[in-house]
Amino acid sequence: MSTVKIKMILEIHKACTEPLYAVLYGIKEKELNWKPAPESRSVNEIMAHLIRVDSKFLTRLGQDAKIEVRERCSASETLTALKSVHEQLHSLVEKLSDDSLLFKKSPAKEATDRDTINEHVLHSCQHNLYHLSQVIYLRRALDRSWNSPIMEWDKATRIIANYLS
């Protein structure tokens, strides 16, 4: 039994989720809910979106997502919910005993052939990195001296690139 791909997915997932947490550390309520334009999303709304999407991935994989998503809450509540959904996805992969299980179709009733752990966790990782760049931009727009996790974003993209090459 091989677990090479499982270890790869776990490393990618960790690299793509942890920088999001740094965005929420020390954020003030004004920065958390600020929008550059009325139709834009705030940092908190983007994080709520990530929680909702990852919860949907868990559901499509036959898991019970144990997270309440709210658009207007404190940074610590958002961080707790975000970490919780990420821990559920991470734990789902970590429990696998063989790489082939990453590609097994979900047991969920409405699952399609693309509803596999591999598909959803990697999609989640890409989605997290995309929105990480947005929230970094929003935080830096309000505070140019804020020490952003841009190097962690770069590290995550390099980890993905290493596996692809």
Q: Which pLDDT belongs to residue 26?
A: 92
**By the 8 A CB rule, do 102 and 72 touch?**
no
Name the residue with tokens 């804020």: 146
Q: Which residue has the tokens 């809450």?
A: 73
Per mean pLDDT, which range of 45-49, 60-64, 109-113 is the poorest?
Answer: 109-113
CATH code for the domain of 115: 1.20.120.450
Its pTM stands at 0.93
Q: How many domains does the chain have?
A: 1
pLDDT at 142: 92
Q: Domain range for residue 10?
A: 4-164
Which pLDDT value is given to residue 110? Answer: 85
pLDDT digits (tens, 9 = 90+) for 65-118: 877 777 678 999 999 999 999 999 999 999 999 999 999 999 888 888 889 999
Residue 156: its H or E element: helix 150-164
**pLDDT tens per residue, range 127-146:** 999 999 999 999 999 999 99
Q: Please report which residue ranges of 34-74 form alpha helices under DSSP H.
A: 43-60
Interior/surface letters 69-107, b for 16+ CB within 10 angstroms, e for the rest: beeebebeebbebbbbbbebbbebbeebeebebbeeebe
Contact between 4 and 100 under an 8 Å Cβ cutoff? The reply is: no
Angle at which helix 43-60 crosses helix 75-94, to 10 degrees, equals 30
Per-residue pLDDT at 119: 94
pLDDT > 90? residue 44? yes
Q: Output the average pLDDT for the chain.
A: 93
